[in-house]
Amino acid sequence: MKLDQRSRQLREQMIRVMEKGKRGHLPSAFSMTEVLRILYDEVLRYNPADPVWKERDRFILSKGHGCIALYVLLAEKGFFPQDELWRFCKSDGLLGGHPERHIPGVEWGTGSLGHGLPVGVGFALNAKYEKATHRVFVLVGDGESNEGSIWEAALSASKHKLDNLVVIVDYNKQMTYGTTFEVQDLEPLTDKWKSFGFGVREVDGHDLHGLRSVFSQVPFAPGKPSVIICHTVKGKGVKFIERNFAWHHKSSVGEEEMKLLYEGVNNNA
């Protein structure tokens, strides 16, 4: 599937952030770009002028290492000046290698995998208690889904009938050093979530029409939390880093590699 102009532009901006910071988890950001794009363009309720607006929807990026994608969207929406992107991972900058709560638009500091969903369950439970109308969205990684805390949180969400909670699984099927099937097979993933009491949908995580459709249907069942399993490609948009384990994280990127990244994303039309 070819990327449209906006998806290419978002990725080009992420490459620029990595170029300035000289590091980052670029493939993990690319795999969820379309998901975040639809969320921030069309789904989430928020106010950049008042990041703690009480009626906002809450979004937690539990797989915090993919934060470059989140930062680019937050800057675009006006949560903080775009110049902050160019200080990524700098001592004088706002943005570190994982999201932190001092960043406008970030609900919870993440990075230790398995923590975002338990916090999201707490947010959703509190909203139910206060009879609030906002929703809670939590994006988790597939490797992260090996964590027991994910499944403990899922049991709790089902028990409390948190139909204001939406879990999004970035199912790119790759971890740091191997595929999810080799390291810790999650299949049958759909049946697992169903058995934990969730309404479940699967979608191509790069298909904008499919994402719009599935997000418009939540909650999928009355009195049940929802989960959207997004089938994605790690590194989607630049062929030579797609499914390339050597690119999971980079702490130094040369000029030639940067040139190839820019060329690669602009050729994906």
Instruction: Write out pLDDT tens, residues 34-70.
Output: 999 999 999 999 999 999 999 999 999 999 999 999 9
Select the more confidently predicted residue: 230 or 256: 230
75-116 pLDDT, tens digit per residue, is: 999 999 999 999 999 999 999 999 999 999 999 999 889 999
Query: Closest Cα to residue 62, out of 109, 126, 127, 102?
Result: 109
Q: Which residue blocks in the chain are alpha helix, DSSP H?
A: 5-21, 26-31, 33-38, 67-77, 116-129, 148-159, 180-183, 189-195, 208-215, 255-266
Evaluate if residue 166 carries a pLDDT over 60: yes
Provide the percentage of residues in the chain whose pLDDT is more than 70.
Answer: 99
Q: What are the C-alpha distances in Å from 99 to residues 81, 102, 119, 202?
A: 16, 9, 14, 27
Query: Closest Cα to residue 16, out of 82, 114, 99?
Result: 82
Domains plus CATH for the chain?
5-266 (3.40.50.970)
CB 113 within 8 A of CB 144: yes
Q: Which tokens hold the place of 76?
A: 């675009």
Query: Closest Cα to residue 88, out of 99, 101, 79, 77?
Result: 99
* Residue keyed to tokens 């906006």: 6
pLDDT of the residue at 255? 81
